[in-house]
Chain A
């Protein structure tokens, strides 16, 4: 009796186990698609990673794209940031979204896993000219000659300084734009106010670990070769740059205290660090100038390009891209949607919407970098060259856009980024010297790159 009961349970369990069969691959393709700019599209289009309601730049283009795919397509956007874990789980569960919007540095990892597909057919089909895009964004999304993403936005670095604090320290903009490391440290130490272990005024924010590639390049080194295959994280000049950038933090109260202060700050609001004179200067992505002109237009600010110790303009290019999952069920609509979001006319319409909005509120439009060179040129004309310090922001922005560099696209980009981010964090946390940390990062990164490229070919 007992055994037969157990036998029954065992059989039932075994049946279930058949379902939960041994670990097999589930990442299937969504099939081929035809791309025709004149075809009427239908079905659903599930978009992940894009928020259309952030501002008029997003919403204007979003509306245009929805119109472009036509009434036959039901466009659904989950309106939340891209979560690589959820995405991969969705792909694993055969329920991938149809179109994703991701940071360009994620493209490589996704392509390596076969989660997104090369866009060759989409580009030729819908008539998207990759030549119309800025070189650096395109290089970030290209692996082995195949383009995996359509770039949207180009973020570059400029230096934003609080002129009140500059004057108080007797420093000039040239002292804090990176062309003179000694002057920079000097300013930082003079300006920083640390009392009781808490940082109340931060002199200079070197933005480590995020801006590591910028500092390395400023000192003359590319952390990854142009073909995306060889890491160069422990080059002596890179070590030097890291020692400098992390050293600045040390002299201002230590990273832990600084980060705690940054965490509690009102970065996007009217109580931001510049408005409250609690930050001297920092390199920052150019869109922040727009935020500042919006929330604290009267703050004492000035802008310039970030420079290498040799005086050359250096700027790290980053941004987002549209990519089509391999398991997408509506690739045609996805392609057309992405095309519309990134084409010149849409960008111009978005910029016009912003100009109109700012005309009402009196804020200054400090420009928009789209990664689309044609759109950039037209918008630059719209923005013009206004007087004043925000005008300097605009000039710096466009100058930086021309000089931008980036880290080449590669199939191990998350591991690569993790390797150097962890290394810098180790240095900041006092757990290792720059040399030790970067040596470890170099090994980890190169291993990851080697195995990823080896797998990628297959």
Chain B
């Protein structure tokens, strides 16, 4: 078998092309029922916890509801208010800026470290890969705490370290202008997951490609950009999508660091007021469930739009080996 497919030839999920498509055996219907029985937990969960909530949140977005009193239909008022609410604009801006900084940063660092690991011997690579992945296990709450402590403008470790090089570090945790960058830098510590994915992908690139390139006189940089990156582009794309979606919904670290649950007015750094944080405040601190639902739908549309754009753009840049189209 010289198939280039990556699944075993006689696998469980064997391709339908191996059987005549039209022949419908009596076995098929029993199969269907069994399959649906197995899938039924998900179907139930989907209907109750996904489909219904989607519909209800759309409905709520047209109401004024604070849980203590009945919902009041208010038409598109919430959406109009959304467009006028300076905090929505601010939080959306904060989130987009954050994502635009964080996603490339994470991807570049992940790629760079994966390439670096690839240069190392196997055992040493394995060891360092573990080291890089370890911080991923840290609870995001603890990351939020670490951010507050390490990046404190006065006594934090980061500014101390910068001071050794004679650099005057900004007040990362209190200056709205720097807090996003500070949060991005802190988040780089959790790049281990992406490194693992990219390293595995890099290792799968056939060596002979590099051989031919080397014979043709290509240097390391050219090999990387002309061979490695295109060959791992599906994985890069995967990391890109996953990181973007997560980045647009960033919540825990900023909420931990800057919101004070004792006071409703408590969010101490507007530079870190991200969209989901503000949404959360509206929903659960102010009990403006209708308004928060409208915010959620706007987020949904934005995420879908961005993902669609990413997929469209990927057609040009992502190379799927062995793809029929």
B265 close to A431 (CB less than 8 A)? no
Residue B153 CB within 8 A of the other chain = yes
B47 close to A10 (CB less than 8 A)? yes
A136 to chain B, nearest CB (A): 20
Among candidates B29, B52, B287, residue contacting A1 with C-beta atoms closer than 8 Å? B29
Contacts of B69 in A (CB 8 A): 25, 27, 114
The docked-state distance in angstroms from the alpha carbon of A10 to that of B48 is 10
Residue A23 CB within 8 A of the other chain = yes
B153 close to A260 (CB less than 8 A)? yes
B40 to chain A, nearest CB (A): 6
Which listed segment binds A: B4-12, B162-170, B205-213?
Answer: B162-170
B264 close to A414 (CB less than 8 A)? yes
Residue A38 CB within 8 A of the other chain = no
Residue B309 CB within 8 A of the other chain = no
B169 close to A197 (CB less than 8 A)? yes
Among candidates B37, B163, B270, B284, residue contacting A196 with C-beta atoms closer than 8 Å? B163
B26 to chain A, nearest CB (A): 12
Within 8 A of A (CB), among B101-156: 148, 152-156
Residue B230 CB within 8 A of the other chain = no
B153 close to A198 (CB less than 8 A)? yes
Which listed segment binds B: A14-22, A71-79, A154-162?
Answer: A14-22
Q: Is the interface of B mostly helix, strand, loop or mixed?
A: loop
A417 close to B44 (CB less than 8 A)? no
Taking CB as reference atom, which chain A residue is nearest B67?
A: A92
Given contacts A5-B37, A417-B265, contact A85 B285 (CB under 8 A): yes
B52 close to A197 (CB less than 8 A)? no
B153 close to A85 (CB less than 8 A)? no
B121 to chain A, nearest CB (A): 43
The docked-state distance in angstroms from the alpha carbon of A22 to that of B264 is 27
Residue A422 CB within 8 A of the other chain = yes
Residue B289 CB within 8 A of the other chain = yes
Given contacts A255-B174, A263-B152, contact A23 B47 (CB under 8 A): no
Residue A225 CB within 8 A of the other chain = no
The docked-state distance in angstroms from the alpha carbon of A289 to that of B246 is 47
The docked-state distance in angstroms from the alpha carbon of A114 to that of B70 is 13
Given contacts A83-B261, A260-B153, A264-B152, contact A22 B168 (CB under 8 A): no
Taking CB as reference atom, which chain B residue is nearest A103?
A: B263
A12 close to B70 (CB less than 8 A)? no
The docked-state distance in angstroms from the alpha carbon of A25 to that of B66 is 8
B66 close to A113 (CB less than 8 A)? yes
Given contacts A22-B71, A255-B174, A256-B175, contact A425 B159 (CB under 8 A): no
Contacts of A415 in B (CB 8 A): 286
The docked-state distance in angstroms from the alpha carbon of A393 to that of B43 is 68
B68 close to A23 (CB less than 8 A)? no
The docked-state distance in angstroms from the alpha carbon of A421 to that of B268 is 10
B65 close to A23 (CB less than 8 A)? yes
B171 close to A113 (CB less than 8 A)? no
A264 close to B48 (CB less than 8 A)? no
A263 close to B173 (CB less than 8 A)? yes
B68 close to A91 (CB less than 8 A)? yes
Contacts of B152 in A (CB 8 A): 260, 263-264
Within 8 A of B (CB), among A172-202: 196-199
Residue A361 CB within 8 A of the other chain = no
B262 close to A81 (CB less than 8 A)? yes
Among candidates B174, B262, B285, residue contacting A82 with C-beta atoms closer than 8 Å? B262
Residue B63 CB within 8 A of the other chain = yes
Taking CB as reference atom, which chain A residue is nearest B36?
A: A5
A440 close to B86 (CB less than 8 A)? yes
Given contacts A13-B52, A23-B70, contact A2 B36 (CB under 8 A): yes
The docked-state distance in angstroms from the alpha carbon of A429 to that of B171 is 12
Contacts of B25 in A (CB 8 A): none
Contacts of B52 in A (CB 8 A): 13, 17, 20
The docked-state distance in angstroms from the alpha carbon of A430 to that of B56 is 41
Contacts of B155 in A (CB 8 A): 264
The docked-state distance in angstroms from the alpha carbon of A23 to that of B86 is 28
Contacts of B56 in A (CB 8 A): 22-23
Among candidates A6, A83, A256, A422, residue contacting B174 with C-beta atoms closer than 8 Å? A256
Residue B33 CB within 8 A of the other chain = yes
Taking CB as reference atom, which chain A residue is nearest B293?
A: A23
Given contacts A23-B60, A25-B68, contact A257 B43 (CB under 8 A): no
The docked-state distance in angstroms from the alpha carbon of A151 to that of B286 is 24
A267 to chain B, nearest CB (A): 14
Residue A426 CB within 8 A of the other chain = yes
A429 close to B177 (CB less than 8 A)? yes
The docked-state distance in angstroms from the alpha carbon of A418 to that of B268 is 11
Contacts of A264 in B (CB 8 A): 152, 154-156
Residue B32 CB within 8 A of the other chain = yes
Within 8 A of B (CB), among A25-45: 25-27
B286 close to A261 (CB less than 8 A)? no
Contacts of B60 in A (CB 8 A): 23
The docked-state distance in angstroms from the alpha carbon of A2 to that of B29 is 8
Given contacts A22-B71, A25-B68, contact A1 B264 (CB under 8 A): no
Q: Mark B280-306, 1 if CB is under 8 A from A, else 0.
A: 000011110100000000000000000
A26 close to B67 (CB less than 8 A)? yes
Residue B193 CB within 8 A of the other chain = no
Residue B176 CB within 8 A of the other chain = yes
Given contacts A13-B44, A25-B67, A264-B155, contact A88 B174 (CB under 8 A): no
A133 to chain B, nearest CB (A): 24
Given contacts A5-B36, A9-B43, A260-B153, contact A197 B67 (CB under 8 A): no
Contacts of A199 in B (CB 8 A): 154
B47 close to A92 (CB less than 8 A)? no
A256 close to B63 (CB less than 8 A)? no
B262 close to A2 (CB less than 8 A)? no
Contacts of B174 in A (CB 8 A): 255-257, 259-260, 263
Residue B271 CB within 8 A of the other chain = yes
Residue A106 CB within 8 A of the other chain = yes
B70 close to A24 (CB less than 8 A)? yes
Residue A89 CB within 8 A of the other chain = yes
Contacts of B36 in A (CB 8 A): 2, 5-6
Other A-B contacts than A25-B69, A197-B170, A256-B170, 10 sampled, CB-CB below 8 A, are A1-B29, A22-B59, A23-B67, A23-B289, A197-B169, A256-B153, A256-B176, A256-B178, A263-B174, A422-B270
Identify the A interface with B (CB < 8 A).
1-2, 5-6, 9-10, 12-13, 16-17, 20, 22-27, 81-86, 88-89, 91-92, 103, 106, 109, 113-115, 196-199, 254-257, 259-261, 263-264, 414-415, 417-418, 421-422, 425-426, 429-431, 440
Q: List 28 A-B contacts (CB under 8 A).
A: A2-B32, A5-B37, A12-B44, A22-B71, A23-B56, A23-B71, A27-B68, A81-B261, A84-B264, A88-B68, A92-B287, A197-B153, A197-B168, A257-B153, A259-B153, A260-B154, A263-B152, A263-B173, A263-B174, A264-B154, A264-B156, A415-B286, A417-B264, A422-B87, A425-B268, A429-B175, A429-B270, A430-B177
Closest 5 CB pairs of A and B: A27-B68, A260-B153, A256-B175, A13-B47, A256-B171
